[in-house]
A and B are shown apart, each in its own frame.
Chain A
Amino acid sequence: MRRLEMILSRLAWFVPTLAGLVIIVFLISNVIPTDPVRVLLGENATSTQIEAMRIKLGYDQPVWVQLARHFRDIVSGNLGISIYSQRPISEDLISRLPATLELTLTAITLSVALGIPLGVISALKRNSLLDHVLRVISVSGLALAAFWLALLLQFFFSMKLGVAPLNSRIDGFGPTPVTGFMIIDSLLDWNMESLHSALSHIALPALTLALPAAATIVRFTRAGVLDVINSNYVLYQRAMGLPPGVIVWKYVLRNAMISTVTQIGLIFGVLVTNAVIVETVFDWPGMGTFAVQSILQSDHKAIIGFTIWIGALIVIVNLLVDITHSFIDPRGSR
C-alpha cells in the first residue's frame, strides 16, 4: 500500500517539476541576446520580413504571454516548430529518441556489468594490490572528461588499431526502421551484417559513457559491500556453513545494492548529459546532437522541447529506481 502511495506521490510531483523546468529554461532562453526570428530568416532578411515573421510566430507578444501560450501548446502536445529545421520539434525528438536511448541503455548495461562485479571484488580484497589498482582506476574514471575520453578512444581503437568505426550509428542508413533501435531492427530484419555494423559502431560511444559511470558504481558497490559484510546476519550465515559465493552474491549484494541502485538512477541523468558531448564527437544522430545544433542556432523552442523530454525521461527513470528500491528494501513500502 505504501508503495502505491509512493508512486502516486512521485507522479503528483511530475507535473510541477516539469512546469518549473519549462519556466526556468524559457526565461534563460529569453535572457540570451539572440533574436530567433533574425536567426530563422538569416542575414539577408529585410526588416519587413522580420517583423512579419515576428508577428506570425508570436514573438511580438510580452514574455508572459509567450510563456502562457507555450504552456498551452505543451499541454496539447505541441512543442512548436523548430525555427531551424522548420519541422515540428516533437517529430525531430521522436525520430532521435531511439538513438539516444540505445546508446544510454547500452552504456548503463555496460557500466553495471563492469561496475558491480569489480566493486564486489574490490571490497572482498580490501586493501590488497588489486583493490588499490581498482580504486585508482575508478577515481581516474570519474575525473576523465567525456570529450577527452571520446577522442582518446577514437584515436586508439579507430585510427591506430582500426578495430572500431570512427563515427555514426551504422554503415550507411541502416535497416528499415521499425523500433528505431539499430540493434533490434537489425535482428528483426535478420541482417547479421547490419547487426555487426550496429554493434561495432556503438562500442566506442557506449564505452565512453560507461567508463565514468562504472567508476561510480564500483565505488558505491564497494562501500555497500564493506558496510554489510561484517554484519551479524553475514556472520550467522558463515557460521551456518553457507558457501562464501552464495553469501556474497545472494545475501550481501542484495543489501549492499540499495545505495548502488539509487546511484544508477542518478547516473542515468549524468549519462544523458554526457551523451550531448559524446553524440557530437561520434556523430551519433540522437537527441544530444539535436540539442547542440539547437543551441548553436539559438532555436529556443527546440532547446525547451529537448529539456522537457530529458526532464521527463529522468523523472520517469527516478520513479522506476524508487520502485526498484522498494522491492530490494521492502521495509519502507509496507
Chain B
Amino acid sequence: MKRTILAVLAAIAAATAPVVAGEAWAQGKYVHANNSGYDNLDPHAIYDVGRAASRINFYDGLYRWVDNPPKMIPWLAESYTSSPDGKTWTFNLRKGVKFHDGSEFTADDVIYSIERMLAMKKGAASLFLPIIAPGSTKAPDKHTVVFTLNEPSAIFLATVPEILMVNSKLVKKNEKDGDWGAAWLAKNVASSGSYKLKRYDPAIGFVGERFKEHFAGWGPKAFDEIEFRTVLETNTRVQGMIKGDFQGTDGYLPYDQILRLKESKNVQILEAESMRVFYFSMHNGRSLMNDVHFRKALAYAFDYDGFIKDILKGAVARNPSPNPNNLWGAPKDLKGFTYDLEKAKAELAQVKEPLRPITIGTLAGFSETEQAAALLQNGAKKIGIEIKIESAPWPVVQSRMQDRDKNYDMVPLWKSTYYVDPNNWVGELYGSRYIGTRNSSYTKDAELDKWIDEALATNDQEKRRVLYEKAATKVTEQAMGIFVYNTKWYGPYAANVAGIRFSPIGSGQDMRWAYYK
C-alpha cells in the first residue's frame, strides 16, 4: 500500500507559502545579534542551534518546518510516497528551481548532498548514517529521488528537512584533495535558498541578499538584506536591542533580561511555548543511581514550584515528562513529581545501598542550571543526601556525559528540538540504541527499548502515540530523570518587525517571512 500525501501537503503549502513571485517591495536591512559565532557556513558540517540561521536562510531542503506547533511543508519536493514496509521513500521534486548561479536544481543535487553528508560524517549526518547506506540513494529521473533505508524508520520523514541541498556542480568544481568541497563551502554558499551570500567574515558574521528568483516567491514585503552578527556578550545584545542597533536577538535570554527588554519602547517580545525541555539527566547505569527508590527520593526533593514561580518568575510551563507537553506522545494525565520531603524520606528508607555523595555537573554561564542544582542540593540535604556541584563549560560537560565512567551523576540541561517527533526526546534520551550518543542516562530497559523500537518501525501514528506515551510515563514514574519545565520562547524583535514565524526548529530565525510594518 502506498501512502500519498500530495493533496494535503500541497494544500498546506499553498496556504502557508508566499505567493508573489519575482519583484517584491524594498524592505531594507534586518540586523540580528547572535550569541554564537558563524565560524563555518557548510550546511553539512554544522548542526547546532546557535548557527541555525546560516542553514535556514541560505539553504533549502526537500521539506521545511514552519510555525508552532511545527508543521512540515513541501519545499524542494512537491510530494512523497512511502512503501508499505517503510523502507523506500520516493520524493517528487519541484521543477524549475534555480540555484543562485542560475543553474537548475535536479535529483543529482539531492544524491550528491546526501552522499556528501554520509561521507563527511558531521553535522546532521548521525541522523542518517544508521539508516542510509552510501550509494543507496537513486534518481530514476531528473525530478525523482528514491531513498532506500536499511530498516524502517518512522522518524525519517521528520528528519528529511535536515538534508540541505547544495549545488553539486558548483561544489564539485571547488573540491580539493577529495574534501567534498569542505574548505570552500566553509566560507561560500552554493544553494537555492532564500538569501544569497553577500558578505562573510567568520569573526563578524554574514550578510545575505534576498534571492529574488527563489522558487517560493516573496510576500508583498520582505527584507532585502539580512545581517547576522556574532555578539557573544548578553548585556551587549540586550543594550543593542534597546538602542535600536539590532532588530532581533536570540529567544532564550535569561528572564531578567527579557523583563529589561519589555520596558523598552523599541522592542517587542513575541512569546510562544517552545519544545525545549529542562530536566536533570541522571546516570541510571551507576550504583545507587540505578536504584529506583533513590532516584524517586531525589525527584521528590526538588522544589518545582519554587524554581518555576520564584526563581524563573513563572516564565516557563511545568513539564512533568521527557516529552514536551505541546507535542503528541506526551502523556496527558501524568501528574509527575511534586516537592514532598516526607515522600522523599520514605523512598530513601527503601534504599539498601550505603549512601554516597552525588555529583551534579552544571553548565558554566547558564545560571539556570546552577540555580536548579543548588535548589536540589538544598532539598537533598534535608533528607540526608549530600550533593556536590561542579561547574564546567558545555564542551567539558558534554564530553563527560558521553563517557559512561566520567559522566556526572546528574546534569541539569535542556533537550532542544532537532526534529519534531517524540523520539527526539524520550526515544533518544532513554532508548539503549542511542547509548554513547544522545542517551547519556545509560538507561537499558528491555520494556522501554521494545516500545521505542516498535514506534520507530511503524508509520501508524496512533500506535506510535500510545507507545511514546507509555514510554514517557514509565521514564517519569521511575524517575529516570527529573523533568522540570518546557521552555517558553521570548523572541526579542524591534517594535516595527512583523511576520516572524516561530518554529521550535530554527527559533524564529527563518527570515524570509519577516518584514517591517
Contacts and interface: CB of A to CB of B under 8 A. Distances in A.
A154 B239 contact: yes
A82 B438 CA distance: 24
Given A86-B40, A173-B204, A52 B121 contact: yes
Contacts of B398: 38-39, 43
Contacts of B157: none
Contact of A151 (B37, B126, B235, B438): B235
B350 to A, nearest CB: 34
Contact of B396 (A32, A172, A293): A32
Interface in B240-270: 240, 242-243, 245
Given A33-B399, A281-B236, A283-B236, A166 B243 contact: yes
B130 A46 contact: yes
Interface string A37-56: 01101111111010011000
B396 A33 contact: yes
B176 to A, nearest CB: 13
B2 interface: no
Contacts of B203: 92, 95-96, 99, 285-286, 289-290
A326 interface: no
Contact of A293 (B122, B187, B232, B403): B232
A240 to B, nearest CB: 57
A39 B204 contact: no
A187 to B, nearest CB: 20
B399 to A, nearest CB: 4
Contacts of B393: 295-296, 298
B74 to A, nearest CB: 26
A38 B402 contact: yes
A151 B199 CA distance: 30
B129 interface: yes
A107 B418 CA distance: 45
A254 interface: no
A133 B202 CA distance: 45
Interface string B375-407: 000000000000000001111101111110010
Nearest to B183: A87
Interface in B421-454: 436-438
Interface residues on A, range: 35 or more
Q: Is the interface of B mostly helix, strand, loop or mixed?
A: loop
A82 B183 CA distance: 12
Interface string A124-164: 00000000000000000000000000010011001100100
A267 B126 CA distance: 49
Contact of A166 (B45, B199, B240): B240
A289 to B, nearest CB: 7
Nearest to B240: A166
A298 B395 contact: yes
A173 B199 contact: yes
Contacts of A33: 392, 396, 399-400, 406
A86 B418 CA distance: 22
B467 interface: no
Contacts of B394: 296
B227 interface: yes
A73 interface: no
Interface string B122-147: 11111101100000000000000000
Interface residues of B, number: 55
B97 interface: no
A99 B201 CA distance: 13
A60 interface: no
B236 A282 contact: yes
Interface in B18-51: 37, 39-40, 42, 45, 47-48
A49 B395 contact: no
A156 to B, nearest CB: 12
A78 interface: no
A307 B245 CA distance: 33
B64 interface: no
A262 interface: no
Contacts of B401: 43
Contacts of A39: 395, 398-399
Q: Which of A44, A85, A92, A286 has the most CB of B within 10 A?
A: A44
A280 B365 CA distance: 14
A154 B436 CA distance: 45
Contacts of B40: 84-87
Contacts of B229: 168, 283
B126 A87 contact: no
A292 B232 CA distance: 9
Contact of A92 (B121, B202, B392): B202
Contact of B395 (A45, A86, A87, A296): A296
Contacts of B187: 87
Contacts of A106: none
B201 A173 contact: yes
Contacts of B406: 33
A167 interface: yes
Contacts of A290: 203
A108 B99 CA distance: 49
A292 B16 CA distance: 41
B406 to A, nearest CB: 7
A34 interface: yes
A41 B400 CA distance: 14
Given A46-B130, A158-B243, A84 B39 contact: yes
A87 B39 contact: yes
Most buried by B among A43, A82, A295, A298: A43
Contacts of A297: 395
**Interface hub of B121, B129, B230, B395 (most chain A Cβ within 10 A):** B395
B64 to A, nearest CB: 21
B182 interface: yes
22 contacts: A33-B392, A41-B121, A42-B47, A44-B47, A44-B124, A46-B126, A49-B121, A86-B39, A86-B40, A86-B186, A87-B187, A95-B203, A99-B203, A158-B239, A173-B199, A173-B207, A281-B233, A281-B235, A281-B236, A283-B229, A283-B231, A293-B232
Given A35-B399, A49-B125, 4 more contacts: A39-B395, A151-B235, A283-B233, A290-B203
The 4 closest A-B pairs by CB, nearest first: A85-B39, A285-B203, A44-B126, A298-B395
